[in-house]
Amino acid sequence: MRTQALGIITAKEFRDHLRSRRFLTILAVFLIVASLGMIAGTVQYQKDLDEYNEAQVLASGEEEPVSTRYPPSSSRPSIMKVFEQIGSMTAIIGSFLGLAMGFDLVTREKESKSLKMLLSHPIYRDEVITGKLLGGAGAIALAGAITVGIALAVLLIGGVVLSSVEMIKVLLFGVFTFLFIFSPFVVALFFSTVAKNSGMALVASLALVVVTMLVIPLILTIPMVTDTILGEPPEFPEESDAEEIAEYETEIKAYYDARNTLMRTAMLISPSWNYDQILETMIPDDRNRDDISDDTEEPGISALFEMIADLSHHLIALLVLPAGFFGLAWVRFAREDIR
């Protein structure tokens, strides 16, 4: 593989994506939905911040509570809640963006015979398929950077200044969002190399994405499925003997621990579940903290590294799926007889 040839193909694919009406249309919808999520997240953040300020006033004993309908927040809300709303609202649109960018990358050129003409030049096949991957990755990264940039600009205009730790979290949010959208793109690229035409590639890509993102998580929530694998849960003893009840509690705990482990392991195949778990870990639930503190500092760098370590298996899962499908696409494209 030659770096110069790879760079030329990558740049060409990147420009093609930016000029594509399909890409620009979905990107526009993506940005609109992200803006709605940004607005919703900003409103919720401001509400939580007001509750936090009220809690600080109450803690100092200077003022009676304005409202007792809901207990005030006892800890400073995280600005990452804004990005949580953006991520949750753009997940589906982002998946369609990845699919739309990849499903006809190869089939379109095979149908127009331009791929055969391209390969008649002194260009290696691995350079072509890798260039298509990198060009698409660059376009996805640009879409994510625009979204995050707009969000940061809005926050700065609103007078919200992010700490260094919060900035790192925002960058991590951008990286994880990129990987989430990148997964369906690579899946679509794979089917574009094996399908006879673009229509079949689109249907196959969409089917697999729906199965991994929706069907598998839904199936695993059905008790009958897990009971089939693990067996029926232990039954409560008929006699109220203390020893038997203690044994039952141990067995039922072990059963549900095994059930949760099975579900979480199987769910790793779902990019949407991994992405949701990442967002939940990155955005702290401030309402679960009972202490009222004047400390407004975010957790330090050490806590940030601990968070990244906790997310490592989700990160690996988001990397394995596209890596596996690109490996298959690379092998198929290298051996395919193109006529």
What's the DSSP call for residue 287? G
Could you read off the pLDDT of 25-41 as tens digits, one per residue? 988 888 888 888 888 88
Reply yes or no on whether the pLDDT at 259 is more than 50: yes
Encoded tokens for 186: 């690579």
pLDDT of 183 reads 93
Confidence of residue 5 (pLDDT cuts 50, 70, 90): confident
pLDDT of 295 reads 44
The lowest-confidence range among 72-76, 250-254, 282-286 is 72-76
Sign of the C-alpha dihedral, residues 198, 199, 200, 203? Answer: positive
pLDDT of 33 reads 84
The lowest-confidence range among 164-178, 250-264, 278-292, 298-312 is 278-292
Encoded tokens for 72: 């005030």
pLDDT of 239 reads 67
Rg (CA), the chain: 25
Q: Give 184: exposed, middle or buried? Use CB within 10 Å, 0-12, 13-18, 19+.
A: buried
Confidence of residue 286 (pLDDT cuts 50, 70, 90): very low
pLDDT of 240 reads 67
Of the candidates 91, 49, 82, 92, the one whose C-alpha atom is nearest the C-alpha of residue 151 is 82
pLDDT of 30 reads 85
Confidence of residue 64 (pLDDT cuts 50, 70, 90): low
pLDDT of 311 reads 86
Q: What is the mean pLDDT of residues 90-110?
A: 86
Report the half-sphere exposure of 61 (CA within 13 A, side-chain side). Answer: 0
Could you read off the pLDDT of 207-241 as tens digits, one per residue? 998 888 888 878 877 777 777 877 777 877 776 67
Reply yes or no on whether the pLDDT at 2 is more than 80: no
CA–CA gap between residue 148 and residue 174 (Å, rounded): 7
Q: What is the mean pLDDT of residues 110-125?
A: 78
Confidence of residue 247 (pLDDT cuts 50, 70, 90): confident
